[in-house]
């Protein structure tokens, strides 16, 4: 038998046998963004991305992801593009390649969290920027804001899952997970997806990147698969995202609600049990 191996339950399995000591409370207000910050803030990053998308005219329809990693000093390297779903739009791919080159040449060093802080990663994160070629900059969602949205329903569902498996709310896995709304969302979506039978039969596996926005009122908007692992898997992820509960508190920038976007990797792996 083949089955899906969600990342959440791998983390839980590593922590089994630890008795709970107390039930941590789900956040009820926007949490301070603790990830890498771009010089000049979210507006400066959005302006850089917008300039990169003005190189190609006429602008192609669609959206693609450009990814890169950050060195310990905050400098970006290893720029790549994420393969979009079929059918391939050559004009979009070419425009994204030009945008990637512009961003790589003009990007300043990011400010990273110090190791040991609540939201800091053990290793430098991979950044996924959405390249949108037809939307005016003022209407584009931010990559990050001063305060992130709060996803109360997703947080409570994950805490209930950890509690069911008798995992202490004070363990490092939970502390790292619940420090970041993006990690909460990714694990929540991962726990909701099911392996489509057609995907199993055709051997589809890999990583699906899903894009969506969180509006100023907390609504989940514009969900779209921007990195494919196969149509059946893409469709399953999109179905789950379309049914996400709205954020209980939106992102905030300079004290005002703003629209932000997420690009989350959802993993599918066919595992053959040991004989």
Q: Mean of the pLDDT values across residues 138-143?
A: 93
Q: Give the model's pLDDT for residue 272.
A: 80
Q: Mean of the pLDDT values across residues 102-112?
A: 97
3-state secondary structure of 244: coil
Which DSSP category does 19 fall into?
Answer: P
- Structure tokens, 88: 């391939």
Name the residue with higher pLDDT: 57 or 68.
68
Read off the pLDDT band of 171 (50, 70, 90).
low
CA 148, CA 179: separation in Å to the nearest integer? 11
Q: Decide: 82 and 226 in contact? Cβ < 8 Å.
A: yes
Look at residue 252 and tell me whether its pLDDT is greater than 70. yes
Q: Give the model's pLDDT for residue 123.
A: 63
End-to-end CA distance of the chain: 11
Q: Give the model's pLDDT for residue 141.
A: 96
CA 176, CA 11: separation in Å to the nearest integer? 11
Q: Give the model's pLDDT for residue 159.
A: 79
Q: Give the model's pLDDT for residue 1.
A: 39
Read off the pLDDT band of 165 (50, 70, 90).
low
Name the residue with higher pLDDT: 262 or 175.
262
Lowest mean pLDDT among 21-35, 44-58, 123-137, 178-192: 21-35
Look at residue 6 and tell me whether its pLDDT is greater than 70. no
CA 205, CA 193: separation in Å to the nearest integer? 13
Read off the pLDDT band of 36 (50, 70, 90).
very high
Q: Decide: 182 and 247 in contact? Cβ < 8 Å.
A: no
Q: Could you give the angle at which helices 152-164 and 181-192 cross, rounded to 10 degrees?
A: 60
Q: Mean of the pLDDT values across residues 19-48?
A: 73
CA 17, CA 52: separation in Å to the nearest integer? 51
Lowest mean pLDDT among 27-31, 60-64, 152-156: 27-31
CA 54, CA 84: separation in Å to the nearest integer? 20
Is the omega angle on the peptide bond into residue 87 within 30 degrees of 0, that is, cis?
yes
Look at residue 43 and tell me whether its pLDDT is greater than 80. yes
On the 0-12 / 13-18 / 19+ scale of CB atoms within 10 A, 158 is: buried
Mean residue pLDDT across the chain: 84
pLDDT over 90 percentage in the chain:
62
SS3 breakdown of the chain: % helix, strand, coil, rounded to 5? 35, 25, 45
User: What φ, ψ does residue 224 adopt, rounded to 5°?
Assistant: -160, 135
CA 19, CA 23: separation in Å to the nearest integer? 11
Look at residue 267 and tell me whether its pLDDT is greater than 90. yes
Which DSSP category does 50 fall into?
Answer: H
Look at residue 77 and tell me whether its pLDDT is greater than 90. yes
Look at residue 234 and tell me whether its pLDDT is greater than 80. yes
CB within 8 Å of 84: residues ≥ 6 apart: 62, 64, 92, 93, 226, 227, 228
Name the residue with higher pLDDT: 214 or 115.
214
Q: Decide: 7 and 176 in contact? Cβ < 8 Å.
A: no
Look at residue 186 and tell me whether its pLDDT is greater than 80. yes
């Amino acid at each position: 038998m083949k089955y899906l191996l969600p990342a959440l339950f791998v983390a839980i399995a590593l922590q089994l046998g630890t008795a709970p000591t107390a039930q941590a409370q789900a956040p009820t207000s926007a949490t301070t963004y603790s990830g890498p910050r771009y010089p000049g803030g979210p507006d400066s990053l959005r302006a850089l991305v917008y300039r990169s998308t003005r190189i190609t005219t006429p602008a192609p329809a669609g959206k693609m992801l450009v990814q890169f990693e950050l060195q310990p000093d905050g400098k970006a390297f290893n720029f790549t593009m994420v393969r979009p779903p079929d059918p391939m739009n050559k004009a979009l791919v070419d425009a994204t390649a030009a945008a990637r080159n512009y961003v790589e040449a003009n990007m300043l060093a990011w400010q990273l969290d110090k190791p040991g802080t609540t939201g800091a990663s053990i290793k430098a994160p991979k950044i996924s920027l959405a390249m949108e070629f037809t939307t005016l900059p003022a209407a584009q969602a931010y990559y990050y804001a001063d305060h992130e949205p709060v996803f109360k329903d997703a947080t409570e569902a994950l805490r209930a899952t950890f509690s069911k498996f008798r995992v202490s709310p004070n363990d490092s896995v939970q502390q790292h997970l619940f420090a970041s709304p993006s990690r909460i969302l990714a694990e929540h979506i991962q726990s909701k997806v099911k392996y489509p039978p057609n995907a199993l039969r055709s051997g589809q596996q890999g990583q699906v990147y899903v894009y969506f926005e969180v509006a100023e009122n907390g609504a989940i908007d514009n969900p779209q698969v921007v990195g494919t692992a196969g149509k059946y898997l893409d469709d399953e992820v999109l179905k789950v995202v379309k049914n996400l509960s709205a954020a209980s508190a939106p992102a905030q920038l300079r004290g005002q609600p703003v629209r932000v976007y997420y690009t989350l990797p959802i993993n599918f792996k066919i595992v053959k049990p040991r004989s």
